[in-house]
Structures are given as structure tokens and as C-alpha cells.
Structure 1
């Protein structure tokens, strides 16, 4: 079996796909030597600057204690006190993939060379990732101004003061000034966001395939996906969505007309509704790519000018707003999937029996799938509520704004899970309708997708429990995203 190629960490070139893959598959990492050199230079500048001027969190307290000067004789313990006081997270343990993602992102950010932590902390994170030694990290404690509690727990675990959830390393010394420099990041929130983004992009691609199956079952019109239509109003997401539908269905200028002059919105307006979700996912990816490669620590150690800058880069308004916008767009896309499911159980549109039933009169067929889909849609609707309308005033009034990006990331994860169920219900309906109608499929990717789905989803004509099929359909979505 070939060895896994390590992921090279430079501080500048980490992308979202790398983060998601490493978080899910425990990929080993190696540190670029130039990144370690940058970190060492930043450490020296930070250490020397603290002897010449006040440096927030190094020679002073934090928050409203910013003017409290740390006694030089007690400086060695200041960092540990800061970590101990901030490791107050609560709630459930974060999943392993989120913790791995947080370790990886924090390592890459530190490799950018703006924090001033001792280089041995970078080595410790590298070793933890390579050995898959995972700190025990709790979910609750951040409001979008730095993942202080989770990163303090990680730092204290590296220092040997807290137990690992899995594996272990020899304790790493915490240098004076390391504490705030290490926890001044939103790495955990970014990890949650990257994983949600990764899963959602897969589901958005799967939706193209499932909609193509529904299109065939409903005898849809190709006009709604015509290139000329979308070039006349060229929003990138809508153009891409229509192009995906033409490819999946093998549509060209001579495509046969559909059954109706005007299709239901679930087909006719699909590119216009699904397109904004594609665009929102692209926007989120751009924000995430910047942030996972950012030296955003406060204060910033500027190694080019050998200066220290105090600032507000801990704010994650860009991330929170991108996540809020994505969930709003996703809700519209999910609504349309539920609408197509309703179309699939309507005899006037399918020319089949009500609810695609195949038993005696009064049989329910897949009637219950609408309930399941709308339950999931309601969960998504609640998750789509914007978090950026709230704020917080804390630390004796000094810190008077918060983005709540952490909560936006949690809500996005919940929304993705709900969307998965909605799509699974539509998939079951489309496959059942195509089986019953025996509609000939075009020699295009949609035909191969139907064969793959039909191979996994059993056809049981009589009324029966559908829960197992929903689970199977949810697992199929990753495969359907590849057509």
C-alpha cells in the first residue's frame, strides 16, 4: 500500500480542499523550512519589542486589562496564566475532523510568520497532525472575535496540562508571550466552515444530477436551460447550472420539446434559484482561502519592518456574512427540491399514479417523503436565520462588537445536513417515477446516474417503510455529484 504523501505547509498556499481532505483522512504534514525561518524571525522581533515598548498580551493583560503591566519577574508564568484562564470551553466535544482542521489551519497561519510564537509550537502542531494526536476540545466559547477557548485548550494540551482525546505528545514549553500569540485566531471556526463548505459543494453538484433525473421523469422542457437564455442574463452561478443541466441531459439546439409549454418552477427556474447558491459557495471559498493563509494575530509581528502592530484582524465579519448569505441561498435551493418532489407525486405532471403508489386503491406510495423533506426544510429554514444581526458588548465595554461567525459555521453545518435529507427524498421519488414510467433516457450522463442510483435503491412496489432508503439515498449523493 503506497504511503500517504505529506501535505506541505508554507503559510501561503493552503486551500480548502487540502484542509477538508487532511481533516477527514488524517494526512501527515511537513513544514516548509522558510516558514520556520519566518516564525523564528517573528519570535525574535516580538521578544525584543517587549523589552522596548508595551506589547498587548505580552507585557500587558488582555481585554479591559490591557493597561495592566505584567511584572517582569512573573513574565514566565503570564502566558500559562492566560491560557489557563481562557481554557473555559464547555458543551460537547468537537468532532475529530474539526479538531484536525483547526490544528492544520492554525499551523499554516503560524507559518505565515505574523504571530511571534516560538517555532517549537509549529513543530508540535506538525507532530500532532502527523501522529494524529488530538486534543480534547469543547465546542462552546467563541463569538467570532477569536476562538480563544478552543485554542487555549489546544495550547494547554500541547503544554501537558490537559489530557489528549487521542494519542499524546511530550509536553512543549510555553515561552513568555506565546499564549496570546497562539490563541489569537479563528482557526476552529474556519475548520468548521471549510468542512461545511466542502460537503455543501458536493451536495450542490449532486443536485444537478438529481434534478436531471426529475426532469426526465416529469418530461421537462429544454428551453429553460438553453444557452441563449442564460447568456442574456449571465449571472455566473445560473450560467454554470444551466450548462451542467445541458451536459447531464445531452441537450443541444435540436432537443425535443417537453410535455408542457411552461414547466413548474422546480424545473423552469432551477438555474435562477440554484445559481445563487453556487455563487455563494464560491464567495465563501474565497473568504476561507484568504483566512486560512492569513497572519491575522493581534498584535501582528511585521518581520519586514521589525515592527509590532495592534489591530482588529480578529474580527470575522467577512466570514460570518458569507456564511449567512450561503445559508439563505441554500434555503431557496432546498425549497425547489421539495417542490420537485411534490411534482413527482402529482399524476397531472407524471402521468403516473398519485404518490407513485403501486398497490391497491388508497395505497400511499411515497407520500411520507414530502413530510420528511419538509421537516428537513423547516430545520434548514431555522438554521438559515442570519447570525450577523446580533452583537455583544463584553470586557467592561471595551469589546463592543462580535460577528458570531462561530454560530454561523454551526448553523451552516446543520443546514447542510438538512439539505442532504431533502435531496435524498427527491432522488427516491425521481428514481421510482422513472422505473414506473420506463421513460427512455438520453445517451448522456443522466442515464448512467440513473443506473447507479437504481442499483442501490431497491424497488418495492407495495407500501413499506422508507427510512432505510432515505439513508441509502443520502449516502449515494457523493457518487451522484461526480456525473
Structure 2
């Protein structure tokens, strides 16, 4: 009797991400931070690192190179005697490892390690190659140094990276997995390691990834709310957006048609002529947020894959260019600070629109239900409190969206007379995520309740149908007055899953396709 074939055991090891210093995307930074991938330095990139390290040592031995044979900041004109050079690097790390505040979460520090390893592989730092290997080993083992929150003003994360440097030499604690072997960092390594914005870039990458998913989920929640109030598809019609073709708005309208199974040229509604702004202006509000996300991703892609160290070490070339160390301001993150500020301001607009839809769901004239989606008991409050909760979370979101780039600082005896505050912009963008989740979570709870009370079920094959089924499986159907804290918490957690419910959709709602109403089992009138 032939033996039955045994199915292969699935490979559960983390996927490999090759770091080459030139093409690492934001998505891979997130995977490395979360431990779902492990890094491998590219062979060609490691050769660049080795060449850069040898060049830097030669330049520092024969002339003045900032931070190697001189002090830093206002001490830049003070030479380091050759007999003191061996200790200069450690003194630099020890003096600059003064970050303060709470220790950062592991994934933020891991994102920093991933960014810094990739930047070093761009080949402009002049740092010993074993440090790159050590950073990759730490990521693979799940180890990360303790890094405190505050220490950067957007001109280099020197305090956080100095803590990393001391951890690499064995003078600062690691957490998580097994730490890498101790590294002998000297005067040619210290500034080369810390001359970077790797922490800011890692935090920005994590924030962009999370908020991008939340914005996508919000569009599905908005679709549920639209169906709950018998909203019109006209606002998403292809001719409307072809007539005013902003890329983001056009893409959002196209996605909304796909989510809803709506035609490109829907027939006018029989009831209301126009919906409230929360439904009618969604492409015009979400479009700029998508455009801002794209701009931020482009800025991050440049920074993550750049040799921005000061000084920049350039080995000689076949074109008779002599080896050189270029002193510059390439570490100044004005581009990123402005992109982060722009993104947060766009995101807060989408959250405000969500709170507007929540208010609409409380209106009997729109839902044909009792005020606040209440039960049949006299004077029941239903989901009334959700408007207050969402408004409070929206208040935090507005505060986090204040432009960090308006900040100003004069440091190091006036030598550094400006600051981008990109580091603050990245922290504020991360902080915005939880507040945003809660605002949209409140809308999701109300939208699902309204659909249930009306007996409406979106078509199961549509993204909006799959979103409803997922939410319905999690959210409590009880409509009697009760605390809604757990409902909103569950809905907020659910948003990441909702964001993926139309990933495999065909172009059902693409221009020229008739689409469908998006509803089954009832008309779009009273249940």
C-alpha cells in the first residue's frame, strides 16, 4: 500500500530582508520592528562600508575631520591630540548618552536599529563594518538597548544613538533577546554611529504605517454609516472626480465605489438631494490625507536610504577624485518635519469627518430610528455618550496635530542656531494613532448598531459586507442602555483587520461597471 504523502511543515521563520542602503521600503522597517522579518546586509553594501571605514581612518590620521580628530558642536575647532584619540570616541558617547524620559517601546527602538543599519550600508559614515553586523544580529535575536524618549530636536538623534553606542561597547543595558558581541568603538566610530536621525525615521515609519491602515479602515466604516442612513452614491461618481482630478480624491472615490459595489454613474436618489458633509465630502477630505501619506512615504524613502552623516566620507574613485570628508547639514530634517506636520493636519480632518457621521447616525431624520439609536424605553440615551467620547479623543488629536516645525532652538553656544523638530513631529504622529482609533471606533459602534436596528445587511461578497460581518461578530448586539466602553475598545482594535477586507477585491466598482446597491434582504428605505 503506497504511503500517503506527508504535507510539508510550513516554514515559520521570519522572512529575510536584504539591507542594501539604497532600496529599503517603509513596510520592511515595520516588519523588522515587529520581528516578522530579520535583516541580512547585502554583500555589495558591506563592501561600501569597508571602503568607507578605511577611507575615514586615513583622512582622520592625516588631517582635521570633524568629530574624529576634533571635538563636536561648539568644540569643533578644538583638536584631539593623537595620544587622546583612543578615548575620544568613548568620551563622546558617554557625554551624549543623556536622553531622558520614559524608556521607549521595543518596536520603536528596533525600528531605529533597522534604519541605522540600512543607512550605514549606504557607505558614507566611515564606521567599522562589524557594527552593521552587530545591529543586524540584535534585530535577529530580538534584542534592543534601553533608549529614553527625549534628546533630539530634529538635527540628529545623538542622545538615543549614543545610548545605542554605549550598549554596543557593553556600558548600557539591553533588553529582549541576546545582545550582540561588544564592539571596540574608538574616535573613528563614535560620531559616525550617532550622526543620524534613525530614531525619528523609525518612529515616523511606524506612525505612517499605522495611520495609513486606520485611514483605509475609516473608509469602510464610512461606507457602513452611509448605508445606515440611506446615503447617496452620487458623491463618489466617476464624472464628479474626473471633472476635478486630484489624485487622492479620485482614488478614494474609486475605492468607495468598490467598497459599496456602486456604479461609476449612479442614478440620483429618490429621497434626499444631498447628504451631510460627512458622507458627501469624504473623497475631498480623505484624498488629501492619502496624498499627504504618499508625500511622507517619499520623504522617508529618501532618508532611510541615504548617507546623511556629517561628515560624509567619500572614498576616491576611478575618475581621479581624491578621498574626502565633506562637512555639511544633510542631517537637518526640515523635509521630514514638514511632511509629518502636513500628514497629521490631513489626518485630523478625516477624524473630524468621522465625528460628523457619528452625529448623523444619532439623527432620526437620517436613520428613521429613535434618537441616539436608543431602544424602546422612554428617554433612553442609546449611544449619546459616544459623541462626547469621540469629541474628547478628537481634542487630543487636534493637540497632537499642532505643527512641530514651528519650534525653534539655539544650541551649543549658538553654533546650531536652528532646529527642525522632526523628532517631535514623529512622536506626535505616533501619539495621534490611539486618539484616531477611538474616534473611528465610536463611529463603527454606532454604524453597526444602526444597521442591526434597521435589519440591513450589506452584500456579503462586497468589502462593506465583509466589514459588517467582521464587526458584527465582535460587537455586542444589546441595545439597552449600558456602558459602551468595551464596545468602543473592541471596535478600535478591529480597525486593523477592517483595513484589509477589500484587499482581494476585483474592480467591481470601477468606472463603467454597473455595480450594485450594496444591500440585500431589504430595500434602502425603512426596515
Report if the CA contact (8 A) 1:136-1:163 is conserved: yes
Whole-angstrom CA distance in 2 between matches of 1:415 and 1:170: 37
Query: Which of 216, 223, 236 pairs up with 1:212?
Result: 223
Superposition pairs for residues 103-252 of structure 1, below 5 Å?
A: 103-166=113-176, 167-252=178-263
In 1, Cα distance between the equivalents of 2:236 and 2:345?
Answer: 24
1:67 matches 2:80:
no
Summarize the alignment of residues 254-269 of structure 1 with structure 2, pairs less than 5 Å apart: 255-258=266-269, 259-269=271-281
8 Å Cα contact 1:26/1:129 also seen in 2:
no
Q: Is 1:293 matched with 2:310?
A: no
Question: How much does 1:445 deviate?
Answer: 2.0
Q: 1:342 to 1:427 in 2, by over 3 A?
A: same
Instruction: Measure how far apart 1:6 and its partner are.
Output: 2.0
Give me the whole-angstrom Cα distance separating, in 2, the residues matched to 1:26 and 1:251: 37
* Residue 330 of structure 2 corresponds to residue 313 of structure 1: yes
Instruction: Give the Cα separation in 2 of the matches to 1:357 and 1:279.
Output: 38
Moved more, 3-12 or 422-431: 3-12
Unpaired runs of 5+ residues, structure 1, are none
* Shift of residue 123, structure 1, vs aligned partner: 1.2
CA distance in structure 1 between the partners assigned to 2:457 and 2:202 by the alignment: 44
- RMSD of Structure 2 on Structure 1 (CA): 1.2
TM-score (norm 1): 0.98
The match for 1:38 is: 48
The answer to whether residue 17 in structure 2 is matched with residue 7 in structure 1 is yes
CA distance in 1, matches of 2:331, 2:449: 51
Could you tell me how far 1:241 is from its partner in structure 2? 0.7
Aligned twin of 2:517: none
Which structure 2 residue ranges, 5 or more long, are not aligned? 1-9, 503-527
Preserved contact between residue 14 and residue 35 of structure 2 (Cα < 8 Å): no
- Between the aligned partners of 2:343 and 2:125, the Cα distance in structure 1 is 31
Correspondence 1:391-430 to 2 at 5 A: 391-430=408-447
Q: Does the C-alpha gap of structure 1 residues 364 and 171 become closer, same or farther in structure 2, counting only changes over 3 Å?
A: same
| TM-superposition CA deviations, 1:242-264 (whole Å, max 9, x none) | 01110011111564543310110
Cα deviation code 1:102-123 (max 9, x no counterpart): 0011000001100000111111
Farther-moved stretch of structure 1 (319-328 vs 44-53): 44-53
In structure 2, the CA distance between the partners of 1:440 and 1:123, relative to structure 1 (3 Å rule), is closer
- Quote the residue 1:376 is aligned against: 393
For 1:361, which of 363, 375, 378 is the aligned residue? 378
Residue in 1 that maps onto 2:523: none
Report the alpha carbon displacement of residue 452 of structure 1 after superposing the two structures with TM: 1.4
Secondary structure of residue in 1 paired with 2:272: coil
Please tell me whether residue 274 in structure 1 is matched to residue 274 in structure 2.
no
Structure 1 equivalent of residue 92 of structure 2: 82
Q: TM-score, normalised by structure 2?
A: 0.90
Decide which structure has greater helix share: 1
Residue 5 of structure 1, CA deviation: 2.5
What residue number does 1:330 align with? 347
On the 8 A contact 1:320/1:405 being kept in 2, the answer is: yes
CA contact 1:118–1:175 (8 Å) conserved in 2: no
Equivalent residue of 2:48, what SS? helix
CA displacement 1:42-101 (0-9 Å, x = unmatched): 011111111222100011000010000001011011000000000001100011001111
Deviation per residue, 1:146-189 (Å, 9 max, x gap)? 00000000011010111212332331101331000100000001
Q: Report if aligned partners of 2:14, 2:36 keep a CA contact under 8 Å in 1.
A: no
CA separation in 2, counterparts of 1:268 and 1:390? 36
